[in-house]
Amino acid sequence: MTRKPTIADVAERAGVAISTVSRHLNGHYVSRAAKKRISEVIAVLGYSRSRNARNLSLGRTGSIGVVVDSTLDLWFTQLLAGIEEELSKHDASLMLASLDLRGHYDAHIVHGWIREKRVDGLIIAKPGKRERPLLQKAVECQIPVISVAPDEVVKNIQVVRCDNIAAGATVADHLADFRHRKIGFAGGPPQSLDSKDRLLGLQNRLKQLGIPLDRRHIWWCESYQALAGIEFARTLLGKPLDITALVMGNDALALGFMRVAQQRGIRVPQSLSIVGFDNVPEGALLWPGLTTVAQPMREMGRAACGQLFENIALVRDVQIVEYPMELVVRESTGPAPDF
Domain residue ranges of the chain, discontinuous segments joined by +:
7-49, 63-162+297-324, 164-295
Indicate the range of 134-143, 178-187, 189-198, 238-247 predicted with least confidence. Answer: 134-143
63-162+297-324 and 164-295: same fold?
A: yes
**63-162+297-324 CATH, one of 1.10.287.3510, 3.30.420.280, 3.40.30.10, 3.40.50.2300:** 3.40.50.2300
pLDDT confidence of 258, banded at 50, 70, 90?
very high
pLDDT of residue 1: 42
Edge-to-edge, what's the strand order for the sheet holding 218-220?
218-220, 183-187, 245-248, 273-278, 291-294, 326-328
Residue 260 and residue 230 in contact, taking contact as beta carbons nearer than 8 Å? yes
Fold assignment, 164-295 = Rossmann fold (3.40.50)
- Beta pairing partners, 187: 220
Tell me the per-residue pLDDT of 261-288, one tens digit each, with 9 for 90 and over: 999 999 999 999 999 999 998 898 889 9
